[in-house]
Structures are given as C-alpha cells and as structure tokens.
Amino acid sequence: MLVRKGLLLDCSGAVCDALEHLQLAGWDFQVVATLEAARKALTLAAPPVGLVAFDHETSWPGREIETLLARFDVEWIAILQRGLFDSAGLAPLLRRNFYDFHSLPLDRERLLVTLGHAYGKATLGARTEPHPAAEGRFGMTGRSARMQQLFRQIEKVITVDAPVLIGGESGTGKELVAHAIHQHSARAKGPFIAMNCGAIPANLIHSELFGYERGAFTGAHQRKIGNIEAANNGVLFLDEIGDLPLDLQASMLRFLQEKTIVRVGGTERLRMNVRVIAATHVDLKRAVAEGRFREDLYYRLNVLHLPVPALRDRRDDIVLLAQLVYANNEEQRSPQVRGFSAEASLAMEAHDWPGNVRELINRVQQAMIMSENRFISAADLGLAAVEGNGATLDEARALVEREMIESSLKKCQNNVSETARQLGISRVTLYRMIDRLKIVL
C-alpha cells in the first residue's frame, strides 16, 4: 500500500492521540510540538499535506504561524476544538492559509476524503505544468477562436514584406503583434524601431522621423539619425498612426512611395529599406471621411490589415492570461497567495475589460501584492462576484471539487481509476462525486 507522508503540528498531543485512535490507513504523520521543530522538518522535506491543531485561539503565535504556513508549498488542514468552530479571531487565518478545517471529535471518513483531496491537489500542482505562454504562438498567448484566427493571419503576413496596419482597442497588444511579425519575418535580424505618433509634440515629429543635419535649426549642434533611418533593413513601428499631423502624413506617403528620405536641413536623398507596420485604435476610415487622415496614405498603409480582438471577444483566454501574469510576477506575490479562487476566475470571465489586457495585468499584479487570502478573490481584483456563486461554504467547496476533478480527468484522459489514484480517493467515491457534481465524462 502506498504510504503518504504528512506533518502534524500539535502542541498538546490531543490530535495525535485522535489520529492514532482513527488508524488512518495509508498515512504516516510526523508529529512536532513547536513551530521551530516544524520549520526544521519542513526545510528538510516538506510533505504535500499538513495538519495544524488548535486547542484555543492562541495555540500558535499569529504572525509566526502564518509566516510558516505561507513559506512552504503544503496543503494545510486545520483541526479545531469544537468551541473554536465559530471563532472570529481564527477566521482570517483559516481563510488565508488553509485548504479545509475539521473540528473534534474527528470524523474518520470525512477526514480521509479531505486528506485525499488535499494530497491530490498538492501533487497535481507539483507536477510540471505547461507554462500558460505555451498556449499560443508567436510569443503571444491565446487558445480562443479569435486568437487562432489572428495567428493564422500573422503566419501569412510574415512571408511577405508589404506594409501592415494593425487595428484594435487600446491595451489589446498591438505592439506585441508588430514584434511577432518582425521576429518571425526575414527582417528578424534587423532593427525594430517603435514610435508613438501621439506622444511626440507636433513640431518635433518630422525631425524624429527623418532626422536632421547639423545646423538645421537652433540647437541642432550635430547630425541626428531619424527613426526611419534607424530602422533601415528592419521594421519601423508607428503606433497611433491616426495621431500623425496632416502635413507629416504627406511626408510619410512620399517615403512609402519613393523609399527615400531627406534629413531636415539636408539635400542628399537617402534610399531606405524599411518595412512599415502601423497601428491605431481609431477608425481610420471614419478619420478619412472626416478629413483627419489622408485617403491615399490609408491605402498605402492598409495593404495588409490585422484586427486584434478586444479581451471581451476572447473570453476563453482571460483566465489563461491571468495565470500568465501570475506566473511572470510570482516573485512579487504576497507570501500566502497561491493562485486564483474559482470565484475570481468566474468574475474575470464575466467582466467586460474596457482596458483590455493592460487592465487585466494591472488588476492581477495589484491583487497578487495586496491580497490577504490564500487564493485571490473577486474582491481582490476589484471585480464583482458572479451572482449565485460562492455564496456558501458548501457551494464554494463543490466548485473547487469540480474544478479539481475535471482538471485531473483531463490530465488522465478520462481514466477514472488513474484519476482516483491521483486524487487519493476510491473509484466508488470518485464516481459518487462525478454524479453529485454532474460532471460529464
């Protein structure tokens, strides 16, 4: 029989005696009576599951026990004296740091199920999971139909050298798309020069684009290479092209037609080999109709058009992207934070994300630092919880159980016996839970 290891923190010995009486087959708990002994044991070899006995609210110093619980990647289960079940003082500690809790006297069958679930969750998490970024292409993450369509379009665009116009709302990742085109095209070894047309004063844009000669104007003490020249043999990315002043639009059109530039204050016409990728969050067709954007320049830029979907139009990617942000910023998280709650995932999928991926990154990073919970909640993200979900402990527990079982079934290719073994429960129990949770095999 497989013997699973666990750790029991028990300063009085009461829970240790109870466990011996229950005779939990398949479990071997190392018993420690102090936090220092627990710290040493966990440092040597942290087991997947740990039990912490609470005889009273102050059994363990609050800050010290929380530091210990957060430091090690263990699924903790609290064992409470019955009088502590409704303790307001312990509630925040339990909520932030424990997988589940039981009260004395212990129910053997229920404890075995909880231990099995906690062990399964810990071992599933310990396995090498594909990084969220693996679900995507060209350095971008996404499994949704809209992103798959974008990937197919990029695949075509990288094989040619024509201008590209990338459209999409602010915060959708238009510059990422431009980088992807550059990095996977024949120009990958050349420079990638990015310029935000809306962030540079109108009187400076011309010299930023085309450069200038020494003495071209007051303060021009030496020659300066412009962004077009700097991008020679590579890519020039013009973000927010819709903000380019009309007089500069004429100069840009001439460059696209002739492939040559003249520095400000100069006379020499320089031939350039540059691919132009432009991006905008505005409707350029409307801007043309309203006289704010040149029609001829629009058609010169819009040879290849790539629309980047808003986050609300790719809801299948929302939680995946949140997990990617979490993985990329894990060193900045609050010590006790272990991931997202099911409630948070539902809230993220329901939110409309007017700020798109940029807003998602901001909310997740803030929640990772500020959350006082073990799993980031909807409130931590500043989002409303989806009505009717997570209202009671039983509902929240069922949601977590369903998520765990479905995840394990997927990894085991719907092999019930293997799934039960990984979760540490019997096939009969798993079938009963599948039926109760209405999981479709």
Residues 68 and 168 placed together within one structural domain of the fold: no
pLDDT at 439 (0 to 100): 84
Q: Is the model's pLDDT at 391 over the cut of 50?
A: no
How open is the CA angle 101-415-29, to the nearest 5 degrees? 35
Burial class (CB in 10 A: 0-12, 13-18, 19+), 346: buried
Element (H, E) at 31: strand 27-32
Q: What percent of the chain has pLDDT over 90?
A: 51
Under a CB-based contact definition with an 8 Å cutoff, are residues 177 and 229 in contact? no
Q: Is residue 418 part of a domain?
A: no
Residue of 391 and 273 predicted with greater confidence: 273
Report the CATH number that the domain containing residue 229 is assigned in CATH. 3.40.50.300
- Amino acid occupying residue 436: R
pLDDT at residue 315 greater than cutoff 60: yes
- pLDDT reading at 153 higher than 70: yes
121 and 150, same structural domain? no
**299 shares a domain with 177:** yes
DSSP assigned state of 386: P
The total of structural domains in the chain comes to: 2
The band of 62, judged by pLDDT with boundaries at 50, 70 and 90, is confident
pLDDT at 423: 79
Q: Are residues 151 and 263 in the same domain?
A: yes
Task: Show the beta-strand stretches assigned E in 133-268.
Answer: 136-137, 140-141, 164-167, 192-196, 235-239, 260-261
Task: Assess whether pLDDT exceeds 50 at residue 415.
Answer: yes
Do residues 308 and 346 touch, judged by C-beta distance below 8 A? no
Higher pLDDT, 212 or 20: 212
Looking at the fold, whether 60 and 186 belong to one and the same domain comes out as no
Domain match, 172 and 276 both: yes
Question: Are 75 and 158 in a shared domain?
Answer: no
204 token code pair: 């400076």
Identify whether residues 195 and 274 lie together within a single domain. Answer: yes
CA pair distance 252, 210, nearest whole angstrom: 10
Domain interval for residue 8: 4-127
Rounded Cα distance between 227 and 149, Å, is 32
In a domain, 293, yes or no: yes
Residue 350 lies in a domain: no
pLDDT at residue 135 in the model: 74
Q: Which helix (DSSP H) or strand (DSSP E) does residue 304 occupy? A: strand 304-307
Which of the two residues, 246 and 343, has the higher pLDDT score?
A: 246
Q: Is 97 a domain residue?
A: yes
Same domain, 185 and 94: no
CB 184 within 8 A of CB 178: no
Average pLDDT over residues 122-145: 73
Residue range 185-235, pLDDT digits in tens: 999 999 999 999 989 988 889 999 999 998 888 888 898 999 999 999 999
Tell whether 102 and 158 lie within a shared domain. no
pLDDT of res. 132: 66
CATH number of the domain that residue 68 is part of: 3.40.50.2300
Assess whether 107 and 202 both reside in one domain. no
Can you tell me the distance from the alpha carbon of 70 to that of 74, in angstroms, rounded to the nearest whole number? 9
Q: Report if residue 137 sits inside a domain.
A: no
What is the predicted pLDDT for the residue at 131? 61
Q: What pLDDT does 78 receive?
A: 92
Report the pLDDT averaged over residues 45-67: 85
Please say which residue of 127, 162, 185 terminates a domain: 127
54 membership: H or E segment, kind and range? strand 49-54
139 found inside a domain: no
Higher pLDDT, 391 or 124: 124
pLDDT band for position 1 (50/70/90)?
low
What pLDDT, on a 0 to 100 scale, did the predictor assign at position 389?
43
Has residue 54 been placed in a domain? yes
DSSP 8-state symbol, 106: P
- Helix, strand, coil percentages (3-state) for the chain, rounded to 5, are 45, 15, 40
Residue 128: the pLDDT is 46
Residue 67 lies in a domain: yes
Asked if the model's pLDDT at residue 394 lies above 70, the reply is no
Domain boundary residue among 254, 278, 308?
Answer: 308
Closest by CA position to 300, among listed 249, 261, 228, 263: 249
Give the β-pairing of 375-376 and 260-261: unpaired
Mean pLDDT (the chain, rounded): 88
Q: 257 or 395: which carries more pLDDT confidence?
A: 257
Question: Residue 279: helix, strand or coil by DSSP?
Answer: strand
Question: Mean pLDDT: which of 93-97, 278-282, 381-385, 387-391 is highest?
Answer: 278-282
Residues 51 and 86 occupy one common structural domain:
yes
Domain edge (last residue) among 75, 92, 127: 127
Question: In terms of Cα–Cα distance, which of 29, 68, 21, 34 is closest to 51?
Answer: 29
